[in-house]
Amino acid sequence: MDRDHRSLVLPHGRVAVPAFLPDATYGTVRTVDSQDLEGAGVQAVEMNVFHLMQRPGSTVIRSLGGLHRAFSWERPILTDSGGFQAYSLIRQNPRRGSITDRGIVFRPEGTARKVILTPEKSIQLQMSYGGDVVVCLDDCTHADAPYETQQEAVRRTILWARRCRETFDALMANRAEDGPRPLILGVIQGGNERDLRRQCAEALLEIGFDGYGLGGWPLDSAGNLLTDIIGFIRELVPAEYPMHALGVGHPDHVLTCARMGYTTFDSSLPTRDARRGRLAIMKAEGDAQVPLGTDWWQYLYIQDERHRRDGRPLSESCDCHTCRHYSRAYLHHLFRVEDGLYDRLATIHNLRFMTRLMARIRAEGGPHGG
Ligand SMILES: [Zn+2]
């Protein structure tokens, strides 16, 4: 981070933190384009090596000049290592692959061919794609997994982090461009076991990274944020380092984690919610917005019959393209006739909700807060 700890200085620009990064899993935030994203105030997006190496494929991305040019996005990109997705695939169906110290071998759905993702390859791909923030390959676990499993995942995560760092350093030594360099994040694993989380954080701090990631599932099986362990992990890392909360995207969870000192977030939740008709609205009392805390926002379910003749925007206080031009009734109608325009307008609104939330949290932190 820069000296005031309030922004990340990256090859494709500066990101004021805390910031929310929508997931552009396959190189696109579904249904919206780069102009829509910029219009909604999105500073950076997350893309995933696991998906991109399959489609459109690394050769295509490199021949088009990297992710920014391939997908016409000029602002920063955080590239995730693919560890979580490979782990999820194997967890769902162990016959789809295996994890060893060498790396992760998996068979993508719908194919018979095997793909290997090693720590070295993950970093090489992320760097060749032009990622602004690259993430170490980690051995992910579920929070409920037994201690021995967590212990093994931490051992492997540390082993891989060292190899990721070496690969990153070798690539940086040959880098010709001037200006800000990409950042590399180490990911802290260990499930709910505090001693393992501490062990993992200490080992990663010793290797030395530009920032750190909250690894593993951030939610319990009931969907509640694992607040205690997440706060504990933040405190294991000195405050001057940025920390990325992978997969945290529910507005209440983002607020809680940002107040704990997490700096960036990525999730597909707000955009998925939008497509399913769940639109986030900040609550107001008269002309003023309800202060961030409890009961400060709500979902509006656009398919509800009561929106059929409602000429008001989704939110009187929202300045997004959708709220400035379209009514609840029109969005309700578009949703009912399943027009693709609904998805775009709804996605723009939910992303603007998140970027306005982040701006409010940044203002709460004050010029020297955080
Ligand atoms: Zn709006």
What's the 313 CA to ligand 1 centre distance in angstroms? 8
Please say whether the beta carbons of 285 and 300 come within 8 A: no
Q: Report whether pLDDT(164) > 60.
A: yes
Please say whether the beta carbons of 270 and 22 come within 8 A: yes
pLDDT score, position 235: 98
User: Looking up tokens 């769940």, which residue turns up?
Assistant: 278
Contacts of 260 by beta carbon, 8 Å cutoff, 6+ apart: 230, 231, 234
What's the 15 CA to ligand 1 centre distance in angstroms? 22
Q: What's the CATH number of domain 7-267, 3.40.50.720, 3.30.420.40, 3.40.50.2000, 3.20.20.105?
A: 3.20.20.105
Residue 193 CA to residue 141 CA, distance in Å, equals 12
Q: Would you give the DSSP letter of residue 66?
A: S
Residue 43 CA to residue 50 CA, distance in Å, equals 23
What's the 9 CA to ligand 1 centre distance in angstroms? 29
What's the 22 CA to ligand 1 centre distance in angstroms? 16
What's the 5 CA to ligand 1 centre distance in angstroms? 29
What's the 197 CA to ligand 1 centre distance in angstroms? 39
DSSP 113-175: --EEE-HHHHHHHHHHTT-SEEE-------TTS-HHHHHHHHHHHHHHHHHHHHHHHHHHHT-
User: Looking up tokens 């639109």, which residue turns up?
Assistant: 279
Q: Report whether pLDDT(204) > 90.
A: yes
What's the 303 CA to ligand 1 centre distance in angstroms? 17
Please say whether the beta carbons of 188 and 236 come within 8 A: yes
Residue 142 CA to residue 232 CA, distance in Å, equals 18
Q: Smallest Cα–Cα separation from 133: which of 7, 270, 219?
A: 7
Confidence band of 91 (pLDDT split at 50, 70, 90): confident
What's the 253 CA to ligand 1 centre distance in angstroms? 21
Q: Report whether pLDDT(84) > 90.
A: no
The Cβ-side half-sphere exposure at 186, using a 13 Å CA radius, reads 29
Which residues are the active-site residues?
Answer: 80, 266
pLDDT score, position 143: 82
Is the N-terminal amide bond of 56 cis, ω within 30° of 0? yes
Which tokens hold the place of 364?
């709460």
What's the 342 CA to ligand 1 centre distance in angstroms? 13
Is the N-terminal amide bond of 11 cis, ω within 30° of 0? no
Q: Check residues 172 and 369 and name the one with the higher pLDDT.
A: 172
Q: H helices within the chain, ranges in order?
A: 34-39, 49-52, 58-63, 67-70, 83-92, 119-128, 147-173, 194-207, 227-236, 251-260, 269-275, 321-325, 328-336, 340-365
Q: Report whether pLDDT(26) > 70.
A: yes
Please say whether the beta carbons of 5 and 25 come within 8 A: no
Q: Is 336 helix (H, G, I), strand (E, B) or coil?
A: helix
What's the 347 CA to ligand 1 centre distance in angstroms? 9
Backbone angles phi, psi at 66, to 5 degrees: 100, 175
Partnered with residue 211 across adjacent β-strands are 185
User: Looking up tokens 């409010």, which residue turns up?
Assistant: 360
Q: What is the pTM of this model?
A: 0.96
Q: Could you tell me what percent of the chain has a pLDDT over 90? A: 83
What's the 2 CA to ligand 1 centre distance in angstroms? 31
pLDDT score, position 82: 86
Contacts of 127 by beta carbon, 8 Å cutoff, 6+ apart: 134, 168, 171, 182
Please say whether the beta carbons of 1 and 240 come within 8 A: yes
Domains of the chain, by residue range, sit at: 7-267, 274-365
What's the 284 CA to ligand 1 centre distance in angstroms? 14
Per-residue pLDDT reduced to its tens digit, 273-306:
999 999 999 999 888 899 999 899 999 999 999 9
Q: Smallest Cα–Cα separation from 23: which of 362, 358, 351?
A: 351
pLDDT score, position 169: 98
pLDDT score, position 329: 98
